[in-house]
A and B are shown apart, each in its own frame.
Chain A
């Protein structure tokens, strides 16, 4: 089974609108972390936000928030007030705490912000 699943290969959003990028995960480890990365066309991987499995509240970083639904094993990224510079690939990732420090990445979602 895939550890991380991103079902949206491509998404479009109007500038200034909010967008949600989906991510579901699969693990039996009670201790894990969930991460989102942005990869612009230049290629570098930029860390956006982190959610720990024991965190009680959803993580937020500026315009990014993580909608963490533990029972459903989902960790959707919400970008508010989209900007043209948000156009990029977005990858969801998971790190399991007790079974090693391996990082698992999803296949990514390509986001295009329309002016």
Chain B
């Protein structure tokens, strides 16, 4: 597709259940990012993938959160044993590798709205 695609667009889940969120980046983009945005808040970095390099997981808030990406393709963000504070929009973005002038913006998907009840 032309843009970053995320699914599901909306998910309501019961506390304690596991959820998987999927991101399909723009074709050819080597970098993929996951962010969390709580209602009325800014973007909270979760994890960053760059090609086949080891991902930067420094933003994952707990061991209940994990993400995978194979090569330069689809990524899956998994939240285990969901809690109410996990309710947020989960935004995925992708970009091509920056040149030395650090150009190349990231392009965002429309997000996955997660509600934990």
Contact = CB atoms under 8 A, between A and B. Distances in A.
Sort chain B's interface into a size bin: 20 to 34
Contact of A45 (B50, B91, B95, B103): B91
Contacts, number: 69
Contacts of B95: 101, 103
B102 A91 contact: no
A53 B42 contact: no
B43 A101 contact: no
B108 A44 contact: yes
A98 to B, nearest CB: 8
Given A43-B111, A44-B108, A97 B43 contact: no
A68 interface: no
Given A44-B108, A100-B56, A106 B42 contact: yes
A47 B94 CA distance: 13
Contacts of A45: 91, 93, 108
Contacts of A101: 31, 48, 50, 95, 97-98
A83 interface: no
A56 interface: no
A37 B42 CA distance: 12
Contacts of B50: 100-101
Identify the 4 closest CB pairs spanning chains A and B, nearest first. Answer: A33-B102, A97-B102, A45-B108, A107-B42
Interface of B: 31, 33, 35, 41-43, 45, 48, 50, 56, 89, 91, 93, 95, 97-108, 110-111
